[in-house]
Amino acid sequence: MPQPIKTTCPYCGVGCGVLASVDPAGEVTIKGDPEHPANFGRLCSKGAALADTLSTEGRLLYPEVEGTAHSWDNALDYTAQQLNSIIAEHGPNAVAFYVSGQLLTEDYYVANKLMKGFIGSANIDTNSRLCMSSAVAAQKRAFGADSVPCAYEDLEQAELITLVGSNTAWCHPVLYQRIAKARKNNSNLRVIVIDPRKTATCDIADLHLPVSPGSDNYLFNGLLAYLDKNHYRDQTFIDNSTEGLDAALTAAHAQVPDLLTVATKCGLSQDLVEQFFQLFASTVRSVTVFSQGINQWSYGTDKGNSIINCHLLTGRIGQPGMGPFSFTGQPNAMGGREVGGLANQLAAHMNLNDAQHRALVKTFWQAPVIAKDEGLKAVEMFDAMAAGQIKAIWIMATNPAVSMPNADKVRAALAKCDLVIVSDCMRETDTSRYAHVLFPARTWGERDGTVTNSERRISRQRAFLPTSGVAQPDWWIISQLAQRMGYGDGFSYEEPADIFKEHAALSAYNNNGERDFNLAGLNELDATEYEQLAPVQWPVMEQGQGTVRLFADGKFFTPSGKAQFIAVAEHAPANAVDEAYPLVLNSGRVRDQWHTMTRTGKSARLSGHIYEPFVTLHPQDAMQNDIVEGSLVKVSSQWGEIIVRARVSAEQQIGSVFIPMHWNDQYASKSYVDALVNPAVDPISGQPEFKHTPVRAEPYQANWYGFLLTRRRLPLKTASYWSCSRGEQLWRYEIAGEATPDNWAETARGLLCQTADKVEWIEYHDRAVNRYRAARMENDQLESCIFIGPDYALPERDWLASLFTEKELQEQDRRNILSGKPASGQHDVGRTVCACFGVGKNVLIDKIQQHGLATAEAVGEMLRAGTNCGSCVPEIKALIAETLNGQDKLNVVMENA
Ligand code: SF4
Model confidence, pTM: 0.93
pLDDT of residue 890: 39
- In this predicted structure, the answer to whether residue 889 has a pLDDT above a threshold of 50 is no
- In this predicted structure, the answer to whether residue 36 has a pLDDT above a threshold of 60 is yes
Mean pLDDT lowest among 412-416, 557-561, 599-603, 750-754 = 750-754
pLDDT of residue 894: 38
**Gap between the Cα atoms of 139 and 569, Å rounded:** 17
Q: Which residues fall within 8 angstroms of residue 514, CB to CB, at 6 or more apart?
A: 557
Sheet holding 28-32, edge to edge: 5-8, 17-22, 28-32
Which residues on neighbouring strands pair with residue 681, listed in sequence order? 688
- The mean per-residue pLDDT over the stretch 172-190 comes to 96
Going by pLDDT thresholds of 50, 70 and 90, the confidence category of residue 896 is very low
**Gap between the Cα atoms of 60 and 70, Å rounded:** 12
- In this predicted structure, the answer to whether residue 715 has a pLDDT above a threshold of 90 is no
Q: Tell which one of 44, 171, 291, 597 to mutate to probe ligand 1, the residue whose CB is within 8 A of the most ligand atoms.
A: 44
- In this predicted structure, the answer to whether residue 1 has a pLDDT above a threshold of 70 is no
Give the residue among 286, 184, 264, 174 at the shortest CA–CA distance from 219. 264
Give the residue among 209, 152, 207 at the shortest CA–CA distance from 182. 152
SS3 assignment, position 128: helix
pLDDT of residue 831: 78
- In this predicted structure, the answer to whether residue 895 has a pLDDT above a threshold of 50 is no
Answer yes or no: are the C-beta atoms of 215 and 573 closer than 8 Å: no
What would the pLDDT profile of 612-624 be if each residue is shown by its tens digit? Answer: 999 999 999 999 9
**Gap between the Cα atoms of 429 and 426, Å rounded:** 7
- The mean per-residue pLDDT over the stretch 311-329 comes to 96
Going by pLDDT thresholds of 50, 70 and 90, the confidence category of residue 753 is confident
Percent of the chain with pLDDT over 70: 98
Q: Tell which one of 11, 597, 869 to mutate to probe ligand 1, the residue whose CB is within 8 A of the most ligand atoms.
A: 11
Question: Could you tell me which residue, 769 or 404, shows the higher pLDDT?
Answer: 404
Answer yes or no: are the C-beta atoms of 392 and 417 closer than 8 Å: yes
- The mean per-residue pLDDT over the stretch 269-298 comes to 97
Mean pLDDT value across the chain: 93
- The mean per-residue pLDDT over the stretch 154-168 comes to 97
Question: Could you tell me which residue, 873 or 708, shows the higher pLDDT?
Answer: 708
Q: Beta 693-699 vs 583-588: how paired, if at all?
A: antiparallel
Residue nearest to atom 4 of ligand 1 (CA): 12
What would the pLDDT profile of 622-632 be if each residue is shown by its tens digit? Answer: 999 999 999 99
Number of other CB atoms surrounding residue 895 within 10 Å: 26
Q: Which residues fall within 8 angstroms of residue 101, CB to CB, at 6 or more apart?
A: 126, 127, 128, 131, 328, 329, 330, 331, 332, 333, 335, 336
Q: Which atom of ligand 1 is nearest to the CA of 175?
A: 1
Task: Decide: residue 326, CB within 10 A, 0-12 exposed, 13-18 middle, 19+ buried.
Answer: buried
- The mean per-residue pLDDT over the stretch 130-152 comes to 96
Q: Is the CB of 15 under 6 A from ligand 1?
A: yes
- The mean per-residue pLDDT over the stretch 852-858 comes to 90
Q: Is the CB of 173 under 6 A from ligand 1?
A: yes
Q: Is the CB of 618 under 6 A from ligand 1?
A: no
pLDDT of residue 886: 62
User: How far is CA 564 from each of CA 141, 248, 319, rounded to the nearest angstrom?
Assistant: 7, 10, 18
Q: Which residues fall within 8 angstroms of residue 131, CB to CB, at 6 or more apart?
A: 101, 292, 295, 296, 328, 329, 330, 333, 687
* Residue type at position 437: V
**Gap between the Cα atoms of 38 and 178, Å rounded:** 10
Mean pLDDT lowest among 116-120, 307-311, 329-333, 423-427 = 329-333
- The mean per-residue pLDDT over the stretch 823-852 comes to 83
Q: Tell which one of 7, 12, 31, 170 to mutate to probe ligand 1, the residue whose CB is within 8 A of the most ligand atoms.
A: 12
What would the pLDDT profile of 541-589 be if each residue is shown by its tens digit? Answer: 998 899 999 999 999 999 999 999 999 999 999 999 999 999 999 998 8
Sheet holding 437-440, edge to edge: 68-69, 64-65, 437-440, 419-424, 392-396, 95-99, 124-126
- In this predicted structure, the answer to whether residue 837 has a pLDDT above a threshold of 70 is yes
The answer to whether the Cα torsion of 571, 574, 578, 583 is positive or negative is negative
pLDDT of residue 877: 87
Q: Beta 656-660 vs 693-699: how paired, if at all?
A: unpaired
Q: Which residues fall within 8 angstroms of residue 723, CB to CB, at 6 or more apart?
A: 611, 612, 613, 645, 663, 667, 668, 669, 671, 733, 734
- In this predicted structure, the answer to whether residue 312 has a pLDDT above a threshold of 70 is yes
**Gap between the Cα atoms of 72 and 440, Å rounded:** 10
Task: Report residue 865: phi and psi, to 5°.
Answer: -55, 135
What would the pLDDT profile of 813-828 be if each residue is shown by its tens digit? Answer: 999 999 998 887 666 7
Give the residue among 307, 326, 316 at the shortest CA–CA distance from 285. 316
Q: Is the CB of 12 under 6 A from ligand 1?
A: yes
SS3 assignment, position 769: helix
Mean pLDDT lowest among 110-124, 178-192, 656-670, 860-874 = 860-874
What would the pLDDT profile of 631-648 be if each residue is shown by its tens digit? Answer: 999 999 999 999 999 999
- In this predicted structure, the answer to whether residue 538 has a pLDDT above a threshold of 60 is yes
Report CA Rg, the chain. 27
Which residues on neighbouring strands pair with residue 21, listed in sequence order? 29
- In this predicted structure, the answer to whether residue 888 has a pLDDT above a threshold of 70 is no
Q: Which atom of ligand 1 is nearest to the CA of 10?
A: 8
Percent of the chain with pLDDT over 90: 80
Cα 836 to middle of ligand 1, angstroms: 14
Mean pLDDT lowest among 75-89, 225-239, 817-831 = 817-831
Can you give the length of the chain in residues?
897
User: How far is CA 102 from each of CA 343, 371, 461, 472, 587, rounded to the nearest angstrom?
Assistant: 17, 24, 12, 15, 20
Give the residue among 428, 459, 474, 592 at the shortest CA–CA distance from 52. 592
Going by pLDDT thresholds of 50, 70 and 90, the confidence category of residue 891 is very low
User: How far is CA 877 from each of CA 200, 204, 453, 520, rounded to the nearest angstrom?
Assistant: 10, 11, 30, 48
Distance of CA 333 to the CA centre of its chain: 11
What would the pLDDT profile of 722-747 be if each residue is shown by its tens digit? Answer: 999 999 999 999 999 999 888 999 88
- In this predicted structure, the answer to whether residue 683 has a pLDDT above a threshold of 70 is yes
User: How far is CA 194 from each of CA 157, 161, 205, 220, 794, rounded to the nearest angstrom?
Assistant: 21, 11, 10, 11, 38
Answer yes or no: are the C-beta atoms of 282 and 314 closer than 8 Å: no
Give the residue among 661, 641, 633, 576 at the shortest CA–CA distance from 404. 661
pLDDT of residue 758: 64
